[in-house]
Amino acid sequence: MGEQYQEFLAAGADVVAIVGDSVEAACNYFAKNRLPFPCLADPNHEIYDRYNVETKVLSLGQRPGLFILDRHGIVRYAHVGSQQWEIPANTRVLEVCRGLPCTGSA
């Protein structure tokens, strides 16, 4: 998503990554990979648990989750992969973002 971040902004979307690791590990990863959007650490997996994104042994770690929430906090798109590499294409995510109404306040 980093390379298409400006397209997400143009679609009216905010991008936030949530990492199920320590603040230090999350900061190190984002600094090393120079991603342009904010990252939140979730070391106790509170957010992961709220959205039912579980760690599975057969997934080789944390399963990937991608959620699109509208301006009112309603989940409009949800995808939880069974393996780390199973995430939707950016084109699909942008399509969903562009289809959301832009009314109301954030």
Is 103 part of a structural domain of the chain? no
Could you tell me the CA-to-CA distances from 94 to 8, 31, 64 in Å, in that order? 6, 25, 18
What CATH number is associated with residue 75? 3.40.30.10
Within-domain flag for 33: yes
* Cα dihedral value 30, 42, 73, 75, nearest 10: 90
pLDDT tens sequence across 61-95: 556 678 888 888 888 888 877 666 677 888 888 99
- The range of the structural domain enclosing residue 93 comes to 2-98
pLDDT tens track for 21-48: 888 988 888 888 888 888 888 888 888 8
Mode of pairing for the β-strands spanning 17-19 and 39-41: parallel
Residue 38 inside a domain? The answer is yes
- What is the structure's pLDDT at 54? 67
Count: domains in the chain: 1
In this structure, what are the phi and psi dihedrals at residue 40, rounded to the nearest 5 degrees? Answer: -115, 140
pTM for this structure?
0.70
